[in-house]
Structure 1
C-alpha cells in the first residue's frame, strides 16, 4: 500500500474557497463519497478566529455554487459541528476513477487542503498525480509505502497509537514548546548539550519554571506511552 500526504488546492471546492475569504478552518470527522450521485457527504468541525468569522464562514459556505446542503449540528462560541453535502470535485473524481482511496481525515485552512490518499501500486499513483496536475495545484508532502505485515501491525495497534496521540495533544502550548526546544537542543542527550539555566534564558523564565514545564510534559507523554504499551501487550497475549 502507498500512502500520500498531499497539500492540495482545488479550484472547485467550497471549503477551500471559503477559507480563502474568511478566517475559518475545517476538519473532517466523517465522510462518505456517493460515486453514483457524484456527491460527498461530510461531518466537519468548523472553527473561526472569532464568533463573527465562524458565522461569516458558514454563510459563505451555504451560498457556494458547489454546496448542495449545509446545516449546523451543534455550535459553541467560535466552533461548530456541521453536516454538508457537496458536488464531487475534480480531484475526488480523479482519485476515485484511478482506484485511489482516502485513508484519513482532511483539514482545510487558508485556501489549502491536507489530503491523505492511498494506492495499491505505483502505476495507479503515477496516473492519478498526472491527472490531478491538470486541474489542481498540489504538492506531495510525504510518501510512505507499507508491506502487508507492516500495514497489519499498524491496524492492529491503532488504539495504542491513538492513546499516544491523545497524550501529545494533552500538552499545553507552553509544555509542548518547552519539551520541543529542550529536545532539539540536546537536553535529553548523554551528556546533555544544554542545561536548565540555558533553557530558562531562552524562554526568559526561572530555572524552576522550566523544570516544572518539562516535568509536566514528560509525565503526560510517559503516561500515554505506558498506556499504549499496555494495549500492545494485551494484543500480544491474545
Structure 2
C-alpha cells in the first residue's frame, strides 16, 4: 500500500473495508488478501480513449505492474479497429498489445474467462500457459515456475490445481 501511495500517479488509496464498512476490522480472521480502492486522475488512464472510440469493456479492467489489461467488445472491421488503436497509441503515448481477437460468431470470452480466479491463481495460471507448462512435452516445470514467482513448488501446484478446478467446472 505504501508503494501505491508514494506513486506520483496516485491521488488517494483506501482500504475497501475502511471505505465501505468501517465497523469491520481490516484484518479480520480468514482474510488472506486486502482489497484497495485506488483513485487517480483520468489523465493517467487510457479508459476514456478506449470508450470514446467505441471499445466497451467486457470484463473488469485489471491493473498490474502499472499496466491496464482490457477485454473489450467492438463491432468494427479489423482495419477500423487497428486505426482506432493507432489513434489511442498516438494520443496517449501508449503501448497497446493485442493478445487475441474473436469474430462476432465466436463464443464470448466471458464464458471461458479467468475472472473468477483469485489474482494469484490468475497470475500463476497465465504464467504457466505463457511459459509452456501445458504443452506436450512441457517447456517449463512446476519448480521453474516456482522460481520465477519466488514461491514454493507446492504453492504453485496448489494454485494451479485450484485454478484448473474452477476453470473446468464441477464434476458432472
Q: Tell me the TM-score normalised to structure 1 length.
A: 0.39
Which structure has the highest strand share of the two?
1
Q: Tell me the TM-score normalised to structure 2 length.
A: 0.50
Which structure is higher in RCO with an 8 Å CA cutoff and minimum separation 6?
Answer: 1
**Higher CA-based Rg:** 1
Which structure has the highest helix share of the two?
1
